[in-house]
């Protein structure tokens, strides 16, 4: 079919616009034109959007500037293949950093291909930061891990170009923002769940003061944002709760068993009693019958004898049964009284619990009280008071290698050595999982540091034996002397910082804070 000249098609298009009463917009004109011409016109060149891109792509280095000029020319000429070359040029800037010389700040215009590269030290710092971040993210988020690993790999190449690093960092941090949002949501949902569990424990144990007290403490701990220390606290308390619940359940099962036994004996006795009274009834009826028929004293005498014997046997049986039953009742009452006493005792001791059940050292509550008491005394008497915070070194390894129970035993060993080595007036409290606080009255900072170092030396000579294996337990510690205007919490925070420094400086050492 012969092609119609464009002027013809244009005329026809205008006519059709009028005939079809279409608004004369460029889109309607284009669509009608295509219809009449019988083909689709090529899409217009996107000059506007491309000029927008032109304004934002980097053009600092001479190489970038050169490519920018080429980009502008390609847009002006509507030249797709020139544009393609420019894009390939940009990609190469990032792909071959070794061909690009360092230029920071950018060198004056020149013919060589130059790009700004990241100083190696900075690149390494960023790489490490990304590396440290990755384990904290959800391992199921494959994309963020992949982007992170690519970024780390790229940053560890010699002289990574800033522009590529910037792009990769932007991609990674975009993805990271979702991942961290997810993490925050997971944490708060977990906290809510924990909170619900604790609420449930509290509701179930409303009549047990100790349990509901512990459950309240757990609820308070989970009402705040999470920190490792708080989690440790929650874990320890939960351990206590589980222990107490298991113990209480065991006692209940035992009591139930005893009650069942008593009831079984009781039923046996009742059955025996009704059996013997049934026999008695029969005997008496038979005797009454014989008596009715008897006409002589001779005939009556054996009947009377039988009645007497049956009555005596019945009375004896009743006495025995009565004796046994009152014995049973007494034993039941004693059991009940003992259980009530045990429960009261347990509640009383638990309510006042100041000690950690594992190591026998003070618990947080006991420690707080002791610190306040010693602080008041030190202020009254004008004597120095030191707080030392010690954390067992590499304790996770002990747990992982020897098991949690042996880990527990190691903590008990440490507490025993502390009690043996330190002065009687020094007090030991368990602050968290493998963290302990020592309250050292009448002790200046140098003396406190000296005392803790002595403890370290002694601990290294008293091995924690595991069969034939000698397990060496060491710790890092920070020591703070409480200042005049300071609270014990503030001093403890300083000691914590000292301990942290001791860990950072290689562990098994004591730092004054």
Ligand X SMILES: Nc1nc2c(ncn2[C@@H]2O[C@H](COP(=O)(O)OP(=O)(O)OP(=O)(O)O)[C@@H](O)[C@H]2O)c(=O)[nH]1
Binding-residue total with ligand X (CB under 6 A): 16
Look-up of token digits 């690149």: 123
Q: Which is nearer to ligand X, 100 or 362 (CB)?
A: 362
Residue 373 binds to ligand X (criterion: CB under 6 A)? no
- Which has the closest alpha carbon to 490: 480, 500, 499? 480
Q: Which of 285, 327, 334, 408 binds ligand X (CB under 6 A)?
A: 408
Q: Which stretch binds ligand X (CB under 6 A): 44-52, 282-290, 339-347, 391-399?
A: 391-399
Q: Where do runs of H (alpha helix) occur along 352-403?
A: 364-381, 395-402
Q: Which of 429, 433, 448, 498 binds ligand X (CB under 6 A)?
A: 433
Q: Is 123 exposed, middle or buried (0-12, 13-18, 19+ CB in 10 A)?
A: buried
Taking the complex as a whole, the smallest distance from the CB of residue 457 to ligand X amounts, in Å, to 19
Please give the Cα distance from 238 to 198 (Å, whole number). 9
Give the number of other CB atoms < 10 A from CB of residue 452: 26
Residue 407 binds to ligand X (criterion: CB under 6 A)? yes
Residue 355 binds to ligand X (criterion: CB under 6 A)? no
Q: Which stretch binds ligand X (CB under 6 A): 88-96, 149-157, 365-373, 401-409?
A: 401-409
Q: Which is nearer to ligand X, 64 or 361 (CB)?
A: 361
Q: Which stretch binds ligand X (CB under 6 A): 148-156, 197-205, 388-396, 443-451?
A: 388-396
Q: Which is nearer to ligand X, 237 or 494 (CB)?
A: 237
**Structure tokens given for 429:** 């409290």
Residues 6+ apart with CB under 8 A from 258: 335
CA distance to 181, 218, 229, 369, per residue, from 196 (Å): 23, 11, 21, 30
Give the number of other CB atoms < 10 A from CB of residue 292: 8
Residue 391 binds to ligand X (criterion: CB under 6 A)? yes
Q: Which is nearer to ligand X, 331 or 404 (CB)?
A: 404
Give the number of other CB atoms < 10 A from CB of residue 336: 12
| Site for ligand X, residues 81 to 120, rule: CB under 6 A | none
Q: Which stretch binds ligand X (CB under 6 A): 2-10, 104-112, 267-275, 385-393?
A: 385-393
Q: Which stretch binds ligand X (CB under 6 A): 97-105, 168-176, 392-400, 455-463?
A: 392-400
Q: Which of 396, 401, 454, 504 binds ligand X (CB under 6 A)?
A: 396
Residue 479 binds to ligand X (criterion: CB under 6 A)? no
CA-based torsion, 299, 302, 304, 310: positive or negative: negative
Residue 229 binds to ligand X (criterion: CB under 6 A)? no
Q: Which is nearer to ligand X, 392 or 492 (CB)?
A: 392
Q: Which stretch binds ligand X (CB under 6 A): 117-125, 254-262, 302-310, 405-413?
A: 405-413
Residue 303 binds to ligand X (criterion: CB under 6 A)? no
Residue 71 binds to ligand X (criterion: CB under 6 A)? no
Q: Which stretch binds ligand X (CB under 6 A): 132-140, 142-150, 243-251, 395-403?
A: 395-403
Q: Which is nearer to ligand X, 371 or 410 (CB)?
A: 410
Residue 404 binds to ligand X (criterion: CB under 6 A)? yes
Residue 366 binds to ligand X (criterion: CB under 6 A)? no
Burial 403-436 (b: 16+ CB within 10 A, else e): eeeebebbbebbbebbeebbeeebbbbbbbbbbb
State yes or no: cis peptide before 446, omega within 30 of 0.
Answer: no
> Please, which residues bridge with residue 390 across strands?
436, 477
Please give the Cα distance from 393 to 390 (Å, whole number). 9
Q: Which of 70, 159, 166, 399 binds ligand X (CB under 6 A)?
A: 399
Residue 393 binds to ligand X (criterion: CB under 6 A)? yes
* DSSP per position, 284-341: HHHHHHHHHH--SHHHHHHHHHHHHHHHHHHHHHHHHHHHHHHHHHHHHHHHHHHHHH
Residues 6+ apart with CB under 8 A from 435: 389, 390, 391, 392
Q: Which is nearer to ligand X, 248 or 412 (CB)?
A: 412
Residue 434 binds to ligand X (criterion: CB under 6 A)? yes
Q: E strands within 12-158?
A: 101-102, 114-115
Q: Which of 60, 245, 394, 466 binds ligand X (CB under 6 A)?
A: 394
What is the binding site for ligand X (CB under 6 A)? 391-397, 399, 404, 407-408, 411, 433-434, 503, 507
């Amino acid at each position: 079919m012969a092609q119609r000249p464009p002027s013809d098609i244009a005329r026809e298009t205008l006519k059709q616009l009028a005939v079809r009463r279409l608004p004369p917009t460029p889109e309607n004109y284009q669509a009608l034109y295509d219809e009449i011409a019988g083909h689709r016109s090529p899409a217009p060149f996107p000059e506007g959007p491309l000029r927008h891109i032109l304004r934002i792509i980097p053009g600092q280095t001479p190489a970038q500037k050169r490519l920018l000029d080429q980009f502008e020319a390609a847009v002006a000429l509507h030249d797709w293949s020139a544009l393609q070359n420019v894009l390939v040029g940009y990609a190469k800037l990032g792909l071959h950093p070794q061909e690009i010389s360092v230029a920071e700040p950018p060198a004056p215009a020149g013919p060589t291909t130059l790009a700004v590269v990241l100083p190696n030290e900075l690149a390494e710092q960023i790489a490490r930061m990304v590396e440290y971040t990755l384990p904290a993210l959800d391992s199921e988020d494959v994309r963020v891990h992949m982007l992170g690993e690519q970024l780390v790999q790229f940053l560890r190449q010699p002289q990574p170009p800033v522009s590529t690093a910037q792009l990769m960092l932007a991609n990674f941090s975009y993805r990271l923002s979702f991942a961290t949002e997810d993490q925050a949501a997971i944490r708060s949902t977990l906290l809510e769940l924990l909170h619900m569990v604790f609420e449930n424990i509290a509701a179930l144990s409303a009549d047990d003061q100790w349990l509901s007290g512990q459950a309240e403490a757990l609820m308070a701990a989970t009402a705040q944002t999470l920190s490792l220390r708080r989690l440790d606290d929650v874990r320890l308390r939960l351990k206590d709760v589980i222990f107490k619940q298991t113990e209480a359940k065991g006692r209940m099962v035992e009591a139930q068993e005893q009650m069942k036994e008593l009831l079984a004996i009781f039923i046996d006795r009742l059955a025996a009693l009704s059996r013997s009274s049934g026999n008695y009834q029969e005997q008496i009826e038979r005797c009454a019958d014989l008596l009715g028929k008897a006409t002589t004293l001779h005939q009556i005498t054996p009947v009377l004898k039988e009645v007497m014997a049956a009555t005596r046997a019945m009375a004896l049986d009743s006495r025995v049964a009565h004796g046994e039953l009152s014995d049973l009742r007494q034993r039941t009452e004693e059991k009940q009284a003992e259980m009530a006493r045990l429960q009261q005792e347990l509640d009383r001791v638990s309510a006042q619990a100041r000690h950690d059940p594992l190591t026998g050292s003070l618990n947080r509550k006991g420690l707080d009280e002791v610190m306040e008491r010693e602080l008041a005394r030190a202020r009254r008497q004008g004597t120095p008071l030191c707080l030392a915070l010690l954390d067992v070194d590499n304790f996770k390894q002990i747990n992982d290698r020897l098991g949690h129970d042996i880990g527990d035993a190691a903590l008990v060993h440490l507490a025993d050595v502390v009690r043996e080595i330190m002065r009687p007036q020094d007090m030991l409290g368990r602050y968290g999982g493998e963290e302990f606080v020592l309250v050292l009255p009448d002790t200046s900072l140098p003396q406190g540091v000296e005392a803790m170092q002595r403890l370290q030396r002694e601990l290294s000579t008293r091995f924690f034996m595991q069969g034939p294996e000698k397990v060496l337990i060491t710790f890092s510690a920070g020591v703070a002397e409480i200042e005049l205007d300071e609270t014990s919490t503030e001093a403890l925070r300083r000691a914590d910082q000292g301990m942290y420094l001791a860990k950072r400086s290689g562990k098994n050492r004591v730092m004054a804070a």
